[in-house]
A and B are shown apart, each in its own frame.
Chain A
Amino acid sequence: MILFGKYMSILFKAQMQYRTSFFLLSLGQFFVPFSVFAGLYFLFARFGQVEGWSFYEVGLCFAVIHMAFAISECLARGFDSFSSLVASGEFDRLLVRPRNTILQVLGSKFEFTRIGRLAQSVAVMIWVLIHLPIEWDAIKVVTLILMVISGVFIFTGIFMLAATLCFWTIQAIEVANIFTDGGREMAQYPLSIYKKWVTRFFTFVIPFGCTNYLPLLFLLGKTTGPDFIYMLIPLVGVFFILPCLLIWQFGVKHYRSTGS
């Protein structure tokens, strides 16, 4: 953990060497999801609601997912851009160091400009929370925080899976976009608006449903049943990282036997 912080500080120092470009890119990152949000807004302006969800309810879903995505893109960028690490042979360097590979790959890159994206989702969240009649209590606050954390773990897990794929081929890497960018776009709406098979896939295989749908129902008071169960549901999303870690280890093993 300490080493992770050290990696972060050295890369932040490096980033600060290019201050202007950092601020401009952060600003750009603020506006990229802005157009997506505008699209969402205009759709609701025309149709009013979707499957019983109001604009502000979907807005909360949007904010949580984009926040999680921004954080994981910042922290787990090393996995997200792993193909270049393999292609340049830099991964060999990580293997001749006496630390575990996951920590080193995480530490190889941070994308601090995602602060812009994060700022945008925070702004959206504040805006929708003002308009949503939620009666806040401790459990709900914890749930909201856990939702974001769980999202971070899921996205990081997907980045890791995509990175593992690089050990076999870096051509098909575009397919990973389905689950990162695609997952993000998909999960910015409550999953119930999709077809059953999609909802099931994104609940039981990639547990976005545990991040945004089920706890969202609870926050909006659309559920019955004990509160703390809903509070803990996001934690299920966190466990998604475990199989990803195993698959990563398997990938590293494969790499070390083929060297490709």
Chain B
Amino acid sequence: MISVQGLNKSFKVARRSSGLRQATKALFHRDYQTVHALSDISFSIQPGEIVGYIGPNGAGKSTTIKVMSGILVPDSGSCEIMGYTPWKDRARYVKNIGVVFGQRSQLWWDVPVIDSFELLRDIYKVSPSEYKANLSLLVETLQLSDLLHTPVRQLSLGQRMRCEIAASLLHSPTLLFLDEPTIGLDAVSKLAVRQFIKTYNNERNLTVILTTHDMNDIEALAERLILIGKGHILFDGRLKALREKFGAHKTLTIDYKESASNIDIIGTTILSQTGQRAVLGVDTKQINVSEVIGKLSEQLELSDVSVEAQPIEELIVQLYQEYEL
């Protein structure tokens, strides 16, 4: 479905310096700096996959999305999506994709949602029967029936996002780009959006590429994860594999009767400690969790113990640190 081979893209950026003298100098002469936004990016994606594409700000995420959606032309490399090269047959290719930019709206602000939908129908030249079928399905699954006749500016962010997603699926694309679809949404709306993507992916075999900073999105949706940093792909695989490879830390929370003795076990770090409760980080490469519990029960009178895998959020932060991103 998607095959990306050795994509490279670099930008020239003017260097700005501070100070009045420097600024005056820059009036006549400017230094340029080359930034490699993408270096040798390769991956392939099968139909029906949901792929989480993550990385810190400025890592090259949006550049990749822009190349794949036909907006940007790369310096070198190839990209074949559904038999098209996105930047070559832009107009024909983009009929097959849907794009949601979470921070920008594709709906017309002052008119009812349905008017925007109808205009999009004309832009994408969707046939009346297809439009009708898609619309009724989307209205039903996203529960839009009450929203259709409200002007967009009166919608809440969550309502609007549901409409945005519907808008990008009206022309039944086979590939959907979601750029931070849950940004700024409340918990209920986030769940609704995730639920919908999951169902729609199942029913229509829709391929989804998802960028986000919310790891819960990834955990809920994406089987597969591509991590990018400084223009390079750092990890490409299943979420579970990422955990096995990097997630060697577990969090151990213990409650105990008041005691004066210090907790000091090799392979653990104390994350927090109060009189009767401590939270420990355990490096499972050095020591087993059960061993730690055993040692602890020798020192303390434990009343409760709970073990958690390291939250993916922390795992990513750790990864970023490891790669110095």
Contact = CB atoms under 8 A, between A and B. Distances in A.
Interface of A: 2-3, 6-7, 10-11, 13-15, 17-18, 88-90, 92-93, 95-100, 104, 256-260
Nearest to A104: B123
Contact of B124 (A10, A95, A98): A98
Given A3-B122, A256-B71, A98 B95 contact: yes
Contacts of B207: none
B66 A92 contact: yes
Contact of A6 (B63, B106, B119, B151): B119
Interface string B101-135: 10010101111000110110011110000000000
Nearest to A5: B122
Contacts of B99: 93, 96
Interface in B145-189: 151
Interface in B55-114: 63, 66, 69-73, 87, 90-92, 94-95, 97, 99, 101, 104, 106, 108-111
In terms of DSSP, what is the predominant structure of the interface of chain B?
mixed
B43 interface: no
Given A6-B119, A7-B119, 9 more contacts: A2-B122, A6-B118, A15-B110, A17-B111, A97-B123, A98-B123, A98-B125, A257-B72, A259-B71
17 contacts: A3-B122, A6-B118, A6-B119, A10-B119, A13-B111, A15-B110, A88-B104, A93-B104, A93-B106, A95-B94, A99-B91, A100-B91, A104-B123, A256-B73, A256-B87, A258-B12, A259-B63
The 7 closest A-B pairs by CB, nearest first: A14-B110, A98-B95, A95-B71, A17-B110, A96-B99, A257-B73, A259-B72
B73 A14 contact: no
Nearest to A13: B111
Nearest to A99: B123
A100 to B, nearest CB: 7
B246 interface: no
B200 interface: no
B101 A93 contact: yes
A20 to B, nearest CB: 14
Nearest to B112: A13
Contacts of A11: 108
Contact of A3 (B63, B95, B123): B123
A7 B120 CA distance: 10
Contact of B90 (A3, A17, A95): A95
Nearest to A89: B104
A104 B106 CA distance: 13
Given A17-B110, A259-B63, A98 B94 contact: yes
Contacts of A88: 104
A98 to B, nearest CB: 4
Interface residues of B, number: 33
A169 B202 CA distance: 45
A134 B124 CA distance: 50
A97 B93 CA distance: 9
A96 B110 contact: no
- Which of A93, A95, A260 has most chain B Cβ within 10 Å? A95
A65 to B, nearest CB: 32
A197 B101 CA distance: 50
Contact of A259 (B66, B92, B97, B106): B66
B32 interface: no
Contacts of B92: 98
Contacts of B235: none
A6 B125 CA distance: 13
- Which of A14, A90, A96, A260 has most chain B Cβ within 10 Å? A96
A219 to B, nearest CB: 41
A3 B296 CA distance: 73
A89 to B, nearest CB: 6
B93 to A, nearest CB: 8
B122 A6 contact: yes
Nearest to A2: B122
Contacts of A17: 110-111, 151
B11 A260 contact: yes
B150 to A, nearest CB: 12
A92 to B, nearest CB: 5
A172 B81 CA distance: 38
Contacts of B119: 6-7, 10
A82 B120 CA distance: 21
Interface in B4-24: 11-12
Nearest to A95: B71
Contacts of B97: 96
A96 B108 contact: no
Contacts of B125: 98
A95 B95 CA distance: 11
Nearest to B12: A258
A18 B111 CA distance: 11
